[in-house]
A and B are shown apart, each in its own frame.
Chain A
Amino acid sequence: MESKPEKPEFQCQRPSDRVVAIQFSGAWLIDAAIPDFQTLREALGDPAQTDTLTFNATRLTGWDSKFLAFLLKIHQYCQKQNIVVEDEGLPDGVRRMLHLATAVPERQGARREAARESLLVRAGRMAESSWQAVVSGLVFTGEVTASFIRTITGRTRFPWRDFGVLLQNCGSQALPIISLISILVGLILAFVGAVQLKMFGAQIFVANLVGLAMAREMGAMMAAIIMAGRTGAAFAAQLGTMQVNEEIDALVTMGISPTDYLVLPRMLALVLMLPLLCLYANLMGILGGVIVGTGLLDLPLKQYLVQTQAAVGLGDFLVGVVKSAIFGVIVAMAGCMRGMQCGRSAMAVGAAATSAVVTAIVYIIVADAVITVICDIIGV
């Protein structure tokens, strides 16, 4: 476009005893290699010998932010050394910008020093925040319980319309993914069992294995984990975004409890739908077993089904269904709680969704272990 811009340079002169004049020349532009500030400081010499700094920019051919940044550094240096800066020699625009940049002094104490804390302090802080997390979890549980009582005693208006959409969301819309995963889990279980049982000629017991495993454990667990990833994360993200947009504040100031209006419908929807999804997952898992049993092990379909029927009692299905209702509470609680506790930034929403899924899956597995032990003790 134009000829190569001149190299940015400066020269220091001492027109009189305590005055330093800096002459700028060339183009001080963002892509140019401008002189180091250190060389200027050396050229200025002993700051105690200087009272006033003047500029001459008659040979300056171009400037932008880079020049201003350099001048700002000179300005800050001179302020520290009590040197008066006379900016008459600078171009008009530069003077205005420099004036603007120095008009608002840096607020005292605004700059942050990274404070190093001792191990003990950090440990204390962590303990404190863990305790806070426990307390807030309990508070949330209490709020939801209170809200549930308010709702069933009819003291608050229940958002039926939203509830319908939520039911659909937590229910029928999850069927495709539940089908896929459950059939595959059934297939996998059947495969693992078939290899072992074939050695004893006991292929038929694949039906028992798949039926019991799906009904008691895998149906509920897989449905819950899918819903944690699918719906729990969505709850956290929805409520978190509402928190960011101050929508939750708006509800509170209107006297509408966000727990009644947002959290409870989500919890109820998931708690109602997850047992149904669990039953569906059981069925799909058994179908997966059927595919392996009839396709790979050459068992007659009827025999497989009769064997399953004999092996899996209604009580086994009941265990799975009860489990899945509990998992529903866990997934919905984790999602809604993380969403309601969300900070006010895009990053916080992401963190809320992640932590909702992680919390839900951890507690699902813990709860499953506890329930399995209890069932064993009471002999169900």
Chain B
Amino acid sequence: MTETQAHIVVEDLTMAYGDFVIQRDLDFTINRGDIFIIMGGSGCGKSTLLRHFIGLKSPARGRVLYEGVSFWEADHETQENLMRRMGVLYQSGALWSSMTLAENVALALQEYTTLNPGDIREIVSLKLALVGLAGFEDFYPSEISGGMRKRAGLARAMALDPEILFFDEPSAGLDPISAKLLDDLILEIRESLGATIVVVTHELASIFDIGNNSVFLDPETKTMIAVGDPKRLLAESEDPRVVRFLTRGKDGREGQAA
């Protein structure tokens, strides 16, 4: 596995709801093993960009390439195959409320593998243990806390050992310690599994802690205005909008980078 192998390439992407353009002319590359941050102010289209990645919304123009395969031009079967290799953690977990945690994690395994129920149970227990929820197999999502729901969502996203993991605001609604633990978990998963990770966030601590590549979307000009390692952006960016964002609105650069 070479260091800079392109995994996801975004080419000339324009996103729009009907006539209303959210972002235009997006061009960037996510390399294999990256922890890629999609950042920007509220309403700039971060989550919409994520929806283009995970196959929920088609682009108005442009392409999203997975290892050279254009997702939105591929046939249905190819799309399903690609989607099976992705895991998504939604903002509030999006666990199916009528199923226990174990059933939530097991669903994809039941659908897409030929494992017997015993093996599925073991793998489900492993995934829940990985996110620190050992023993909570038979709980319903409504019976656990928000942070636990998020971790259970991560266990579900990892069910099929995905090559790419998408996180929508992983630390939103978590206390700082839980947020840090989740960040550590993300790093650990990247290190151990070599997965590519795409994170939508505006949590500065997370951005600098885990991100090694990023794109900055600007709601005013409706396009990306910076791309690269967030720490380098903080140190070197000439764009005042990027610097203001990365320094929490202060104009100086002192004392932010970790």
Contact = CB atoms under 8 A, between A and B. Distances in A.
B123 interface: yes
B28 interface: no
A106 B126 CA distance: 12
Interface stretch (B127-135, B200-208, B234-242, B247-255): B127-135
| Dominant secondary structure at the A interface | helix
B115 interface: yes
B142 A345 contact: yes
A65 B141 contact: no
Interface in A65-96: 65-66, 68-70, 72-73, 92-94, 96
A104 B192 contact: no
A93 B192 contact: yes
Interface string B38-58: 000000000000000000000
A21 to B, nearest CB: 23
B161 A345 contact: no
A94 B130 CA distance: 12
B135 A110 contact: yes
Nearest to A99: B188
B115 A65 contact: no
Contacts of B192: 92-94, 96-97, 100
B119 interface: yes
B193 A93 contact: yes
Contacts of B114: 31
B138 A111 contact: yes
* Contact-size category for B: 20 to 34
B135 A66 contact: no
Contacts of A73: 122
A72 B125 contact: yes
Nearest to A97: B192
Contacts, number: 81
B123 A104 contact: no
A65 B161 contact: yes
A65 B191 contact: no
A30 B127 CA distance: 14
A107 B135 CA distance: 7
Contact of A345 (B97, B119, B137): B97
A277 B239 CA distance: 65
Given A93-B191, A97-B192, A345-B97, A65 B126 contact: yes
Interface of A: 30-31, 64-66, 68-70, 72-73, 92-94, 96-97, 100-107, 110-112, 343-348
12 contacts: A66-B123, A94-B192, A96-B192, A97-B193, A100-B130, A100-B185, A101-B130, A105-B134, A107-B134, A111-B138, A112-B138, A346-B96
Closest 6 CB pairs of A and B: A345-B97, A104-B132, A93-B192, A106-B135, A347-B98, A101-B129
Given A101-B126, A347-B98, 19 more contacts: A30-B113, A30-B161, A31-B114, A66-B119, A66-B123, A69-B122, A72-B122, A93-B191, A96-B191, A96-B192, A100-B130, A100-B185, A100-B192, A103-B132, A110-B136, A111-B135, A112-B138, A344-B142, A345-B140
Interface of B: 96-98, 113-115, 119, 122-123, 125-127, 129-130, 132-142, 161, 185, 188, 191-194
